[in-house]
Amino acid sequence: MAVQLAAQEAKGWARLGDRRQTEVALDRGRKLLEGMPYPENLDHHFVVDPAKFDFYAMDCYRLLGEDRFAVNLAREVIRAGTDFDGSERSPMRMAAARITLGVAAARQGDLDRAVNYGEWALKGDRQSLPSLLMVSRELAAIINRDYATETAGREYLDHLTALSRPS
């Protein structure tokens, strides 16, 4: 539980834009994780394994705009979350990793790649639409700011709006 609290603290600092405090919290969480045995039940919500910690760190670096770190961690989250047969074990982590790749692509000026990652994330199996929409808003904000007049950008924003409406 202490590892997850450190990771959540790091995300809070990242949302505030404080890279130094984010790194301190991530460091503390990683040290705690390294001192623990590998968890037996990875499906338990409060269990943090190295892959889940990478997921938290990915979120932090995406929030801080540290795209190189965020992209590397997103790729690792996708690799670790893909089973030998290609099936996805952690659909929410996978979706957030794809949004992270989309955010980085959008920041680099590649709208098509950004929208492709964003749509891929929205089409996957997921358990928490509100959580996915919250992460997707980061990509939406960039698209709205930089690409709102482009068709692909408008279509992605319209898709998010439709998903956000109550059924």
Neighbours of 5 (CB within 10 A): 14
Q: Which of 4-13, 129-138, 157-166 shows the highest mean pLDDT?
A: 4-13
- pTM of the entire predicted model: 0.89
**5 pLDDT higher than 80:** yes
- pLDDT at position 126 is 62
